[in-house]
Each structure stands twice: as C-alpha cells, then as structure tokens.
Structure 1
C-alpha cells in the first residue's frame, strides 16, 4: 500500500469570526497528483496556504512525510520537502531581482554549494536556457515568469509541490505548456502534487483523485475518472461540472 505523503485532519482556519476551513480532512498518497476544486471562496486556496504555513490553523493536525506541524510554524526541513507555486507569476517574483538571484536565494538559505550547476539544471528543466539567468522578471512574459517560479520551487528537490491555480493567470495557449511541464517534472522526479483549480478540465487532466470543497468543507472525494463517468454523489459537484468552463467530455 502506498504511503501517505501529506495528511490534513480536522483543520480549522478562521479570519476574525469567519470560518474559512471547517474541520477539513484529507490524505494525499506519495507520488499522487491530488486536486482540490470548488467555486471562489470555497476554501481551497486557504487550505493550500495553511499547509504551506502562510495561514495559521487554529486546530487540527497536519502531517507531512511523517512529521506533524501546527499553526503556521514551519522549519527548514519542511521547505526542503514542500514547495509552493502561486497563481500570479507577476506577484510571486521580486521585480528587482535577476533570475539568477531568485534561484540563488533558496539554495543559499539551505546551504547548497553547487549553485551554478543547480541553477543551470533548473533553467534547462523548465525549458529556459542560460540566457535567461541574468534577466529581470519584468523582462519576461507571464509564461516565462511561471517557468521561473516552477524552477525556484523545484531547485531544492522537494517531494511535494503545492500548486495554487498555476495556470489561471496565463493565456490558454501557454496554460497547456505549463501543465505539460509540471506533469513531466512529476513523472521524472516522482513528485506528489496537491493542485487547486476552479477548472475541472485541468483537474481531470492532471490529477488522480480530487476533493470537492464548498463553504470551507470537503463535500466529497473521488477518483478523477469518475468525473467523466458521472460517478459522484453530491449535487454541488454536478453543478460545478456544468459550470466549469473548459471541461470537455472525453
């Protein structure tokens, strides 16, 4: 039986008196690509940010690679294991830093010494050559920025990638390229993905299983191929399927 890479149990997140996550539980297996879908405000991005330590969770338990974490405190080992790619490639990269500096920073924090080799390899892996190394992010297109963001996440050789709508800010023609890049990295590195998206088409293409969220709660969890077969139980999931632009029957 495949080991569990990441486990969330009874997680609660509140903002003032608003309950953003209401006793959310899910398990993600090693090497799995796990999707989280739901309409805007359903809590899916809040869940990802709580796992990453960007949102505090008041109660519940988070276990990653056998280690438990609480609140928002994460140690260096956590970030060697878990990295996150954000939705907005324009906001996630520092505008006054070169690509070289952006990629060097995590390596320096974690004490790597073979930085030139790692930076060259990272750029090559995301389809950008060494000519991009000393450019600034404002000199890059949206798709190129997201490739740099992915390179920055992969450069520490994590086991788990958290992906928060990684293509929704990009043109449709670029979206497919980025998704293919991510899928290739997952296969070659044996990565575990937790991917948030509002687009059931993206999730059905990329993920093995998915959780449907609504109003801060998990409505149901099922295998991704159940979408095409309509083998799910919640009316809310059916409504999402109808509303999801880009979903096409096979």
Structure 2
C-alpha cells in the first residue's frame, strides 16, 4: 500500500540564515513530485529536513495514508523514507563491498533473510550476482547509482527522496537510471520526491512540481503545464529559458 508525504510550515535555519521559509507541500500516495530551482533555492535542504539531516526550526513533516503510520524521527520512519543522494562516487563507502553495504542496512534495522533480500534487490536494479562482492571503485557511475538505489530499496521503503539522482551521470546512463526509477515506482507503489535543476528530467519522471526560489515556493503546477509553457511566474519562465535544450523525453 502506498503512503504519501505532507509538509506544513517547514522552516530550516542555519544560524541567522533561513534556508527554507514556511514551505507547505502535500504529495499523494504513489505520486512522483519534483522540486526545481536554481542552486541555493533550498530544494535539497527540504529533502534533508524530511529525513533528519537538516534542523527543523518550525513546521512538521508527516506520512499520510491508511493505517498506522510511523512518526518522524522514529526508526520506522527512517525505514519507510529513504534517500538516494546525488553523487554516486561519494555516497558509497570505498572500503565496503556492495554486499557489505546492503547487509549493513539490514542489520541496522534488524531485518532478516539477508541472502535472499540482497540477491533480490540487486536483480531489481539490474545488477546480477557478479556485482555483489565488488567495491565501488570497480563500478561505473551508473552502476554505483544502481547500488545506491538498491541500498535504499532493500529496506522496502514507501517514499524515496531523490536528490539530483542522475546529474552526475552521462546522458545515456541518465536515461537508463530514470527508466529504472520509473519502473520501480510502478512495481512497488513508491512515492517520489525528486530534486533536480533539469526540467526535462523532472517532467519525464514527475506528475507535479514546485518551483522554488530563495527557500520559498514560487508556484506549483502540473508537469504537463510546464511542457506546454503554461506557467504563471516570470521566474519559472526564466528557468525554462536557462534550461538549454529543454525537451521532454519520450
């Protein structure tokens, strides 16, 4: 069963600097939602605040849907909400094998059947048994990002936070990873919150998106409206002009 995500009045401060100002956002169960904006707009900080890596000065984060849902900050919440980081080179421990990284995640959350789960999740991301005992330096950038996705998926989360998951990859590999994410969402009923500066990537993977600037919402619109250039804010039009070769992928 899919679950959604709701953010209300979110503020994130670092000393005297406010990185996110009273942000409100609701993502339906099973939806893929994008956050876009220039560098420094606060979009990645929102993801970090959701999973506890950035301080909440005010506001609340909660999961939505049927049944009893875990509270933010709890171990159950951290299992239900997993993050895939931008840099596949920096997000994996260089001295751990793929097997060790996946097994460690299971051990932290006291989840059994490690052998079966590791084999299954590697198959799910398109990496066979031969990759299980390799180190990160023995993998390509695309393979490393697949491992990062597998590490998130092995805990069977309901929500994936995707922080520029393809920006460090070559264009052809980007398409492969995006197609993989799209398939996994459909198969597993996942809810996505994705950050990207690439409008073509966001409109390919997301149904709706929020444009952010200086830690605030500029506007929220359907991805289809962005493709048709039916936007309200001048800032959004500026982003579209700045996004060279903005074409939605087929």
The answer, yes or no, to whether TM exceeds 0.5 is: yes
Q: Structure 1 pair 232/21, CA: closer, same or farther in 2 (3 Å)?
A: same
Contact 2:201-2:248 within 8 A present in 1 as well: no
Q: What corresponds to 2:163 in structure 1?
A: 164
C-alpha offsets along residues 154-185 of structure 1, whole Å, 9 cap, x if unaligned?
A: 01110000000000011111100000000000
| SS of the residue 1:161 aligns to | strand
| TM-superposed deviation, 1:246 | 4.0
The answer to whether residue 16 in structure 2 is matched with residue 13 in structure 1 is: no
Contact 1:61-1:68 within 8 A present in 2 as well: no
Q: Where in structure 2 are the equivalents of 1:99-110 lying within 5 Å?
A: 99-110=98-109
Gaps of 5+ in 1: none
Contact 2:22-2:216 within 8 A present in 1 as well: yes
Cα RMSD, aligned residues only: 1.5
Structure 2: how far apart are the matches of 1:67 and 1:211?
26
Q: Structure 1 pair 36/105, CA: closer, same or farther in 2 (3 Å)?
A: same
Contact 1:199-1:245 within 8 A present in 2 as well: no
Q: Where in structure 2 are the equivalents of 1:109-124 lying within 5 Å?
A: 109-124=108-123
Q: TM-score, normalised by structure 2?
A: 0.94
Structure 1: how far apart are the matches of 2:70 and 2:218?
27
| TM-superposed deviation, 1:245 | 2.7
Q: TM-score, normalised by structure 1?
A: 0.94
The answer to whether residue 137 in structure 2 is matched with residue 138 in structure 1 is: yes
The answer to whether residue 181 in structure 2 is matched with residue 182 in structure 1 is: yes
C-alpha offsets along residues 78-131 of structure 1, whole Å, 9 cap, x if unaligned?
A: 122100000000110000000000000111111222111100001111111101
Structure 1: how far apart are the matches of 2:124 and 2:248?
32
Structure 2: how far apart are the matches of 1:200 and 1:92?
24
Structure 2: how far apart are the matches of 1:68 and 1:229?
39
Structure 2: how far apart are the matches of 1:4 and 1:100?
29
Contact 2:99-2:118 within 8 A present in 1 as well: yes
Structure 1: how far apart are the matches of 2:88 and 2:217?
28
Q: What corresponds to 2:56 in structure 1?
A: 57
Q: Structure 1 pair 32/62, CA: closer, same or farther in 2 (3 Å)?
A: same
| SS of the residue 1:127 aligns to | coil
| TM-superposed deviation, 1:68 | 5.0
Q: Structure 1 pair 94/222, CA: closer, same or farther in 2 (3 Å)?
A: same
Contact 1:34-1:209 within 8 A present in 2 as well: yes
Gaps of 5+ in 2: none
Q: How many residues align?
A: 245
| SS of the residue 2:219 aligns to | strand
| TM-superposed deviation, 1:19 | 0.9
Structure 1: how far apart are the matches of 2:57 and 2:121?
36
C-alpha offsets along residues 123-164 of structure 1, whole Å, 9 cap, x if unaligned?
A: 111111101111111111111100000000001110000000
| SS of the residue 2:134 aligns to | coil
